[in-house]
Amino acid sequence: MTISKSEYARRRKRLMDMMASNSIALIPAASECTRSRDTQYPFRQDSDFLYLTGFAEPDGVLVLIPGRRHGQVLLFCRDRDPTMEQWHGYRAGPDGAVSTFGMDDAFPIDDIDDIVPGLVEGKQHIYYAMGHNDTFDRSVMAWVNQIRSQVRTGAKPPGDFTDLAFLLHEQRLFKSAAELRIMAKAGDISSQAHCQAMRECRPGRYEYQLEGAIARTFAEHGARFPAYNSIVGSGANACVLHYDENRDRLTDGDLVLIDAGCEYKGYAADITRTFPVNGKFSTEQRALYDLVLNAQLAAIKKVRPGNTWNQPHDATVRVITRGLIALGLLKGNEKQLIKDGAYRDFYMHRAGHWLGMDVHDVGDYRIDGKWRQLEPGMVLTIEPGIYVSPTNTKVPKKWRGIGIRIEDDVAVTASGCQVLTAGVPKVADDIEALMAS
Ligand code: GLY
Ligand code: MN
Ligand code: MN
């Protein structure tokens, strides 16, 4: 299960078909990042670069020149080097970039300053992702300034700079069949990891031990890294939306919220489940849990072609506001409370985001100022929550410190939607049954 060489070629072609005539696009790879003296953070390729090349090494630049007779797709990459490879691992080198990765031509990255100005010279448009990578911004400006310094000899610097994101990110928003298969697998592995955490959960164990169970399950299934730092928050830690210290002891009677998803073949899953540390929801926990679940189910029902991006979110707001009134946590008229945003004391984020190679994936949410329509091939999360701050003195004490989120990954299909993360239970009775087994 991979993205084929021909799919990478199709992606590049589609991008080049959208580029203006007489133009060039420059797409840099990610660089390694120091963690502490002589040690690096695990390398993660830049998503745009990976999307267009499948090339997983650091320190490369992809150059696309639509219509160029001597090759439209050029890659600058690290040269082969026996000593460096002995210490740090295999490199494809320019020859491998052509033979294995289907580039038209490739050059050592060390030669880029000598070659790229000549490729840019005479082009009217230059496309690149401005302002995301200081080093690359400076390189591009240096190449352009080198051309500008030669205008008296007839050199022609580019006149138009366009953010590549406008062209590329719209394409990335729509997932191909192969991408959807990989994302379903990422969802499946992540579901299994959440099930494993539920099985291993006991009062007296620690949040980081559940994090470990999740990471181990990811790796068992071929996903070495999480798509983002796993969140394991028990008790009131669940009310901190991005809590990832994961250091506290699991207390009998508390809930634990786990937000964790693996990265599989470059694609993210993003799942949240909330369950009782001792395997049994209390009355208050169950009441709020069922409310969040109803909001989530109502939102998923709204995921279908033709509906707009905000409809699932608006559904969660209606269900949560009505439910909080019924439970006595909000007081007043439902319509007015929604208008005033009263639910935001308990539900302070939106219902979801695009999902893909990046966990908060690329793609516009509005078009011409209006929420965009959902279309087949889009993948999004649906993740409402209720978080009752431990310091919220406006509600009876029994509710305070309860934090609940339920998050699934949902692909828009021709007729509705498909939940990619259905492999982990979310109905309270089913969670209790799994934990008791
Ligand atoms: N895990 C990050 C998010 O749910 O958006
Ligand atoms: Mn999410
Ligand atoms: Mn999440």
pLDDT digits (tens, 9 = 90+) for 43-71: 999 999 999 999 999 999 999 999 999 99
Report the CATH fold assignment for 5-171. Creatine Amidinohydrolase; Chain A, domain 1 (3.40.350)
- Kindly tell me if the per-residue pLDDT of 78 is higher than 90: yes
Place of tokens 């022609």: 156
Residue 264, classed as helix, strand or coil, is: strand
Indicate if 179 belongs to the active site: no
Indicate if 350 belongs to the active site: no
State mean pLDDT over 162-175. 95
CATH of domain 174-436: 3.90.230.10
- Kindly tell me if the per-residue pLDDT of 383 is higher than 90: yes
Indicate if 353 belongs to the active site: yes
Indicate if 105 belongs to the active site: no
Catalytic residue among 57, 259, 361, 408: 259
Q: How far apart are CA 127 and CA 108, in angstroms?
A: 22
Catalytic residue among 349, 350, 372, 400: 349
The mean predicted confidence, pLDDT, of the chain is 97
Percent of the chain, pLDDT > 70?
100
The verdict on pTM exceeding 0.95 is: yes
Q: Which residues contact 368 (CB under 8 A, 6 or more apart)?
A: none
pLDDT at 166 (0 to 100):
85
Place of tokens 């809590």: 243
Domain definitions of the chain by residue range: 5-171, 174-436
The DSSP letter of residue 407 is B
With the most atoms of ligand 1 within 8 angstroms of its CB, the residue from 242, 243, 259 to mutate is: 259
State mean pLDDT over 109-135. 96
pLDDT at 129 (0 to 100):
93
Nearest atom in ligand 1 to the alpha carbon of residue 352 is: 5
Q: How far apart are CA 288 and CA 279, in angstroms?
A: 16
CA–centroid distance, residue 170 to ligand 3 (Å) = 23
Q: How far apart are CA 383 and CA 192, in angstroms?
A: 19
Q: How far apart are CA 423 and CA 177, in angstroms?
A: 20
Q: Whose CA is nearest to atom 5 of ligand 1?
A: 360
State mean pLDDT over 277-282. 98
Q: Which residues contact 352 (CB under 8 A, 6 or more apart)?
A: 299, 312, 313, 380, 381, 382, 383, 407
Inter-residue contact 106 to 79 (CB < 8 Å)? no
